[in-house]
Structure 1
Amino acid sequence: MTLSRSWKRAAGMLACLSALMTGTFSAAPAQETFPARPVQLLVPFPPGASTDLLARFLAPKLSAALGQPVVVENRGGAGGLIGAGVVAKAAPDGHTLLVASSTTMQSPLLQKNPAFDTVKDFAPVIAAFQHPFLMVSSATIPVHNIAELIQYAKANPGKLNAASLGGFSDVISMMFRHAAGLQLQIVPYRGGAEAMIGVVRGDAHIVFNPYSAMQPQIQSGQLRMMAVTSLQRSPTVPDVPTLAESGLKDFEIINVVGILAPAGTPQPIVQRLNREIAAIVSSPEGRKFITDRGNDTIPDYSPDHYAKLLKAADTKYRRVIDEIGFVKQ
């Protein structure tokens, strides 16, 4: 009986040695090679937004670089919060990415129960481009600059309206109202096109939007350029003053559009994505795509730079929201 047990023990040891030598011994599964399947670029807005245009520009080029299909999916709603929330909860493996703007990434600050935490729930991949907002007025009111606009608003208290898309768009209008010391009503619209029609008709009188979204109406004279929200004048519209030089000291809002992965995505994957996307947006074709649409290139494409931009914006707008008296929903 003792001999039988010894033989069994010896046979077991030989089996283990054989498994180790042939590589068949059970072990932890090997890490999945990236990319192992199609990559999804999720855009939290309908087609036509700057985030959507970037995603569709990147998709075929990124697909060629990664050797896998790259699919653009639009999942709009709630100012971008729905789509961003989907990516925040996605598997952190690099196959689901968010194409987002600053307005989306700061929107959780406007909620009593935030859908996600911008700093903690995402791994920044790359900031692709940035732009200030352009403040325009309706041609239906007799103003041609910020001084005249403020004078008109004070002479007509409560009659000046700002078109807003809700969410962070409200914050921009409220920041202007607070800085200028005006009575400014905020009129909600369901989308950018509807808001534009409202300002052209004179139902609302001012709106903050990217230049590229309003270029035809500006060129036709239906909208008048008042100021940009950067501290320096925009190369796209160099003759338009900043709000800061128009008397609103230190007024600055910059919208950064970039790519993010879910938090916990392995650094080698983040670095691979960063390297491939940086090569696309920094190419002559990429820079032309960016600047032709009134956007500015980014001086630093590293994930760390994007992370610093997001953190700085988070800190700033937590303070601003308190200052302007925004009521969280």
Structure 2
Amino acid sequence: MQTLCVPRGLGRRHWLALAALILAGGPASLHAQTWPERPIKMIVPFPPGGGADNAARFFGEKLGAALGQPVVIDNRPGASGNIGAELVARAPADGYTLLFANEFLATNPAVFKALRYDSLRDFAPVARVASSASAIAVHPSLPVKTLRELVALGKTRTLNYGSPGVGTGPHLYGQLIALNTGAKLNHVPYKGTAPAITDAVGGQLDFVISTAAPMVPHVQSGKLRALAVTGAQRSDQLPEVPTVMETRVVGDPYDVWYGLLSPAAVPAPVLERLQQAAAQVLQDTELKARLTKAGYELRTVSPGEFGNEIRRDLERWTRVVQQAGIERE
């Protein structure tokens, strides 16, 4: 029970106003003091075993320990992440249902005509957990050794490139390269990263854009030639490969980020506790080692900066979809 201390001489009208103000904030304040009282559900809108799922499990284990309650991973795959995102957007805003998302929050609004959630209004950023570098790699039979040479070849004939699917970051990044350089690039969508890389290795594609980790063995064996990584910094997995910015062909870096968000209406004290716990966990030496060993890259930013990154990405991909004339689904 809260005790209300009223200064001497305070009039009845002022007393009532003060009491109303305190009582209005009382439930949220009390909820924050006791939260969490039960396990927290972390929705991962992808199947088990993928990049988002693995990062979520590593991070969720440590977050649960920091909060004193288990974090339960709930995989809800389907519709390019939209099923899980909608579930969290409509969940009670009590801090017990969270979303572990990746770049789909920025790409899906650009490529889907109708979504039942708003990536910016319906979610509050908690933490940017990790990212995965992406790379551009060609079949070794293609007579190019640099990204600049690839673009030059693409101005003389149409090149086919593969990605994990329509509307994914790699698909849109290829279109961004085409828009910025005038190269003729034809997109070939696949249902996931593995089949796209398989066809690139087999010579059915001129090049592929995808996360770097699955490409590394093929690059090391000479079955693929990596021309550039798309992030702002070189990848630890492919340290000899330049970034797209180093090549001076494209000025926009791109990587696949993974992060935690809550429903937007979660009480501020609960959100702040979540953000503080997440920030603490991201400094954990063991977690950093596990993520790095699994091929993730770490770059700590504030929740506000994470939110701004989502907004910038959404604006960029919307512009690319419009300028490239990509038909929205």
For 1:271, the equivalent position in structure 2 comes to: 272
1:79-130 per-residue CA deviation (whole Å, 9 max, x = no partner) reads 2222112111111111111111123433122222233211101011111123
State percent identity of aligned pairs.
34
Q: Which residue of 2 aligns with 1:214?
A: 215
1:173-322 equivalent positions in 2, closer than 5 A: 173-300=174-301, 302-322=302-322
Residue correspondences, number: 301
1:279 alignment partner AA: Q
- TM-score, normalization: structure 1? 0.82
- Per-residue deviation at 1:46? 1.7
1:38-57 matches, cutoff 5 A: 38-57=39-58
**Is the contact made by 2:231 and 2:253 (CA closer than 8 Å) also made in structure 1?**
yes
Deviations 1:7-62 (A, max 9, x none): xxxxxxxxxxxxxxxxxxxx989648322322111111122222111111123322
Q: Which residue of 2 aligns with 1:120?
A: 121
Name the structure 1 match of 2:22.
none
Cα distance in 1 for partners of 2:199, 2:116 equals 30
SS at match of 1:297: coil
Distance in 1 (alpha carbons) for counterparts of 2:27 and 2:74: 34
Matched residue type, 1:306: F
What code does the residue aligned with 1:72 have?
Answer: I
Secondary structure of 2:247's counterpart equals coil
2:136–2:230 Cα contact (<8 Å) kept: yes
Residue 149 (1) aligns with residue 114 (2):
no
Q: How big is each residue's C-alpha offset from its partner over 1:196-223, in whole Å with a ceiling of 9 and x where there is no partner?
A: 2121112223222222232222222222
The verdict on how the C-alpha distance between 1:266 and 1:186 changes in structure 2, with shifts beyond 3 A counting, is: same
CA 1:313–1:147 in 2, change beyond 3 Å: closer, same or farther? closer
User: Following the alignment from structure 1 to structure 2, what is the Cα–Cα distance between the partners of residues 116 and 323?
Assistant: 24
**Distance change >3 Å, CA 184–CA 312, structure 1 → 2:** closer
Q: State how far apart, in whole Å, the 1-side matches of 2:197 and 2:314 are.
A: 28
Distance of 2:134 and 2:193 partners within structure 1: 14
Larger Rg: 1
Contact 1:106–1:118 at 8 Å: present in 2 too?
A: no
Q: Distance in 2 between matches of 1:163 and 1:133?
A: 11
Q: TM-score under structure 2 normalisation?
A: 0.82
Describe the superposition over 1:116-170 as per-residue Cα deviations: whole angstroms up to 9, x where unpaired: 2111010111111234421112234333221332343344x23533334122242
2: CA distance, partners of 1:159 / 1:28: 60
Structure 2 residue matching 1:82: 3-state secondary structure: helix
Change (3 A) 1:183 1:315: closer
Unaligned runs of 5+ in 1: 1-26
Q: Would the alpha carbon gap of residues 210 and 265 (structure 1) be closer, same or farther in structure 2, given more than 3 Å must change?
A: same
Query: Structure 2, unaligned stretches of length 5 or more?
Result: 1-25
Equivalent in the alignment of 1:80: 81
Q: Answer whether contact 1:79 1:104 (CA < 8 A) is retained.
A: no
Aligned-pair distance for 1:236?
A: 4.2
